[in-house]
Amino acid sequence: MTLPPDSYDPPHQANETKIEQEKQLTLVFDASVLQYQSHIPSQFIWPDHERPCLDSPELVTPPIDLGSFLDGDLSAVSEASQLVNEACRKDGFFLVVNHGVDSQLVAKAHEHMDLFFGMKLSEKQRAQRKIGDSFGYSSSFTGRFSSKLPWKETLSFRYLADEHRSCSNIVEEYFSNVMGEDFREFGKVYQEYCKAMNTLSLMILELLGVSLGVDRGYFREFFQGNDSIMRLNYYPPCQNPDLTFGTGPHCDPTSLTILHQDQVGGFQVWVDGSWRSINPDPQAFVVNIGDTFMALSNCKFKSCLHRAVVNKKTARKSLAFFLSPNMQKVVKPPEILVDPENPRKFPDFTWPSFLEFTQKDYRADMKTLENFKTWLEQKKDY
C-alpha cells in the first residue's frame, strides 16, 4: 500500500512553481530520443516514498446511467442523485454511461491525438505553451518545473461556451492560427468534442444540483458561458515506469473534469486510504469533482485525488475537459449550503485568480485549494 497523501505532503516552500527555480532548465523531453536511453533522466525520478504502484487493485464502481436521468423518470433521477451524492461526498468521482456523446466522435478525438503527437518535436512546438500560460503544447514541463517531472506531453486549449454564438469556433480558429490552415479540420474535431463535453457538463451539473438539494438549474446557470480548458494528454512508453508518473497525485483546481481514457489503462484514484485503478471503459466518462466545485459546494463534495501511471510498452492517451466558470463569476456556495452549523469554508474568489495561482505561484497538487486560501488571506492583509 502507498503511504497516505498527508504523510508525503511537501512543505509549502518545496512546492515548485516558484518561478526562480524554473529558469535553469535545458532538458528537452523528446520521446523519440529518450526511448534509446537505458534510464530516464534524473529530473523524472520521483523520491522513493512517492513512487507509483503500477498494479494497484482495480476499483469496480457501478456507473451512473444518465439515459434514465435524461428521460426524466422521477425514480431514476432520485436514484442517480443519491448515488452521485454518496460518491462525491466520499471520493469525489463517479462514472457515467448512456451520456449521449457520439462514440465515433470520441474515437475521432483519440485518433487525431496520434496525428498531433506523432509529429516531430519541432512541428509540435509551433503550438508551444509559454511559461505562465495555460494553453498550448508542452513536452513534459521541462521549462516550468525542475524535479518530479511528469512523463507526458500535453496539448491544451481554451473552450468558451458560446452563449452569444460569437465564438462558436474558438478551437478551430486557435489551431488554424497557431498550426496553419492544414490544422483547421483537426480544430473542427476538437471544437465538436468540446461542444459535446459542454452539453454533458451542463447535464451533470443538474444532477449535482439535485444531489446537493439546490435547484436543478442552479449550477447549469452558474456555468453558462463557461471558460473551460480542453487538454489532450499523451504518455509515451517509459523505460522506468516504476520511478515516475504520467501525472503525479493531484486534485484538479478546475470545477469538474470529464475524462476519457483509451484502452491502455493507468488512471488511479485515492479511495479509503489506498490507490485504486479505474480500468478503461470506452463507453464511460470519469467525472471528477475539482477544487472549484468543492468550494462551490461549501466542501460538501470532495475534490478527487487522482494520478496517472505510465508503462513500458504502450503509449497512453486521455482526453480531459476541465469545466471552469466564466472569468466574471464569483465562486461562492449557494445560500442553502451555508448555515450556522455549516459556515463558509472558503472566501469568495474568481477563477482567473485561482488559475493564475496554479500557473505562476503554485504547482497544483493535493493541497492546492488550501494553499490558495492561505495565499488569498495573506494578500488581504497587505
Ligand X SMILES: O=C(O)CCC(=O)C(=O)O
Active-site residues, by number, are 316
Among 176, 226, 261, 303, binds ligand X (CB under 6 A): 261
List CB contacts of 82: < 8 A, sequence separation 6 or more. Answer: 211
Among 267, 346, 349, 362, binds ligand X (CB under 6 A): 267
Question: Using the 8-state DSSP alphabet, how is residue 44 labeled?
Answer: G
| 159 touches ligand L2PXNNRO (CB under 6 A) | no
- Give the shortest CB-368-to-ligand L2PXNNRO separation in angstroms: 8
| 252 touches ligand L2PXNNRO (CB under 6 A) | yes
Q: Is 50 exposed, middle or buried (0-12, 13-18, 19+ CB in 10 A)?
A: middle
- Give the shortest CB-143-to-ligand X separation in angstroms: 18
Identity of residue 217: G
Distance separating alpha carbons of residues 192 and 257, to the nearest angstrom:
17
The binder of 238, among Fe ion, ligand X, ligand L2PXNNRO, none, by C-beta within 5 to 8 A per type, is: none
| 291 touches Fe ion (CB under 5 A) | no
Other beta carbons within 10 Å of 48 = 7
- Give the shortest CB-307-to-ligand L2PXNNRO separation in angstroms: 9
> What interhelical angle do 170-179 and 184-212 show, nearest 10?
140
Q: What cell was used for 43?
A: 529530473
Distance separating alpha carbons of residues 64 and 266, to the nearest angstrom:
22
Task: Show the site string, 243-272: x = touches Fe ion by CB under 5 A, - = not.
Answer: ---------x--------------------
Distance separating alpha carbons of residues 10 and 26, to the nearest angstrom:
25
When the beta carbons of 77 and 109 are compared against Fe ion, the nearer one is 109
Nearest to 320, CA basis, from 246, 203, 232, 205: 232
Contacts to ligand X by CB under 6 A:
231, 233, 247, 252, 259, 261, 267, 306, 308, 318, 320
Contacts to ligand L2PXNNRO by CB under 6 A:
134, 150, 229, 247, 250, 252-254, 322, 355, 358, 363-364
